[in-house]
Amino acid sequence: MLELHDIRTFYGNIEALKGVSLSVDEGECVTLIGSNGAGKSTTLRSISGLTPPRFGQILFHGRDIARVPPQEIVRLGISQSPEGRRCFQRMSVQENLDMGAYLRRDKEIDADRAHVYELFPRLQERRTQKAGTMSGGEQQMLAIGRAMMARPKLLLLDEPSMGIAPILVERIYETIAEINRQGTTILLVEQNANYALGVSHRGYVLETGRVVLTDASSSLRENPEVQRAYLGT
């Protein structure tokens, strides 16, 4: 479904990604792990068109989308739940969800909103509440739900556990696994490698803008270097 070939992405003159290559097959959940500044979020921003790469190819179903505008990338079937959630603070839960469907003109929006409420019952309870008055965990649920409202073929999740109480992190990761089981392909960026490797099929380890290791998630969990650097063991 997705292939990155030697992408190099810059912020001004600073090279953040130094030739990243990876792939995501249809139906997979793939994770990128690494420390702060490794290039994980930049990889997602490159895919979604927010920070396009200066060099390299990003193929989605065989089409190079490296120079495609972000709104067209959403239309093609890629949506992102961004780092820091970025909910519309003064809008209600339902209004936030409807913003996720702003490019759609089909008649399934109400059904998809109902599906998001099934995945996250807390959001249905809070549907008229302003997003800015909710907890961090609830806003993370909303950010994922909003991304789902675009009906993506590929869902990009950036640091879904950041700043959230552990009990809600578990709930969110159970739902991420369920979203994947229901057929949505996921590319997940996460500092909490234990959770990420627990729900993903494969993983890539990034260090300073480069992929340094890739393997099945189960194998990465048993890798002594990964355990020492990212799993706290």
At 21-34, the pLDDT tens digits run 999 999 999 999 99
CB 130 within 8 A of CB 103: no
Backbone angles phi, psi at 223, to 5 degrees: -75, 125
Please enumerate in sequence order all residues whose Cβ is within 8 A of that of 213, keeping only pairs 6 or more positions apart, or say none.
Answer: 204, 205, 220, 223, 225, 226
Report the alpha-carbon distance of residue 58 to residue 224 in Å, rounded.
Answer: 32
As to burial, measured by CB atoms within 10 angstroms (0-12 exposed, 13-18 middle, 19+ buried), residue 110 is exposed
Q: Tell me the CATH number for domain 2-84+150-231.
A: 3.40.50.300
Give residue 232's pLDDT. Answer: 65
The dihedral formed by the CA atoms of 80, 82, 86 and 92, expressed in degrees to the nearest 10: 40
Ordered per-residue pLDDT tens for the chain, 233 residues: 999 999 999 999 999 999 999 999 999 999 999 988 899 999 999 999 999 999 999 999 999 999 999 999 999 999 999 887 788 888 899 998 998 888 888 888 999 999 999 999 999 999 999 988 988 888 988 999 999 999 999 999 998 888 888 888 888 899 999 999 999 999 999 888 888 999 999 999 999 999 999 999 999 999 998 888 887 65
Longest dimension (CA), the chain: 50
Give residue 170's pLDDT. Answer: 87
Please enumerate in sequence order all residues whose Cβ is within 8 A of that of 166, keeping only pairs 6 or more positions apart, or say none.
Answer: none
Give residue 104's pLDDT. Answer: 80
The dihedral formed by the CA atoms of 228, 207, 50 and 88, expressed in degrees to the nearest 10: 20
